[in-house]
Structure 1
């Protein structure tokens, strides 16, 4: 039973592996407990497209310039597979923005900044992003 469970968990893990385009360790400060992680999930679906090159090089550069020093780290995942064999990937990409606190995120993501970032979305995808704000626990 343990071997079968281990095999299933290993398979699920391997199927869920994603390519990470995180900043290099020398550029990225340590992500620590208590930080705020803003996850931007881009759902897959019929006819959905995503330009990873534009997102990684231009959109995230725009985010860095607009959010300034309040933005502590960025990471990007490219979806490769789902946890179900032969099923499509649930998300085309996931972007992560890290902040010291909710207050610093809210201050940085004012109406003008939010509007500029949202206006850039059609330049790289036709998928409507889903945002989740989380606290880093580990």
Structure 2
């Protein structure tokens, strides 16, 4: 069954993000590195205030579309994952909250 891996970056006062780097460099690196494990595509959303003008819980995030939950597990067990996490310092001083799920 197809699955998603969602990465959400917190909207906190001390957060520093370079979303342009994330979109143009990090996510293509993720795709090129993890495509062999079953990563099919991805999108990035920069969150804005809600309809009631409330601040969003997250600043931005990505949704990655995978062949299955097993393919995500295999990718995270692979030797390349460490290099991808090392790249985070190039666009963020925060760690993402990661959520996985099956597409229904």
TM-score (norm 1): 0.68
The secondary structure found in structure 2 opposite 1:122 is: helix
The secondary structure found in structure 1 opposite 2:5 is: strand
1:48 match: 15
Aligned length: 103
The answer (yes or no) to whether the contact 2:69–2:101 under 8 Å persists in 1 is: no
Structure 1 stretches of 5 or more lacking a match?
1-33
Aligned-residue offset at 1:109: 2.5
Give the Cα–Cα distance (whole angstroms) in 2 for the partners of residues 47 and 57 of structure 1: 23
Once the two structures are superposed, what CA deviation does each residue of 1:90-122 show, in whole Å capped at 9, x if it has no partner? 111111111111111222232422211111111
The secondary structure found in structure 1 opposite 2:29 is: helix
1:61 match: 28
TM-score (norm 2): 0.88
The secondary structure found in structure 2 opposite 1:133 is: strand
Query: RMSD of the alignment, in Å?
Result: 1.5
The answer (yes or no) to whether the contact 2:5–2:98 under 8 Å persists in 1 is: yes
* Higher-Rg member (1/2): 1
Give the Cα–Cα distance (whole angstroms) in 1 for the partners of residues 83 and 63 of structure 2: 18
Q: Please, which of 30, 54, 67 is the counterpart of residue 100 of structure 1?
A: 67
Aligned-residue offset at 1:83: 5.1
Once the two structures are superposed, what CA deviation does each residue of 1:5-58 show, in whole Å capped at 9, x if it has no partner? xxxxxxxxxxxxxxxxxxxxxxxxxxxxx3110000101111112111100010
* Regions of 4+ moved over 4 Å: none
Structure 2 stretches of 5 or more lacking a match?
none
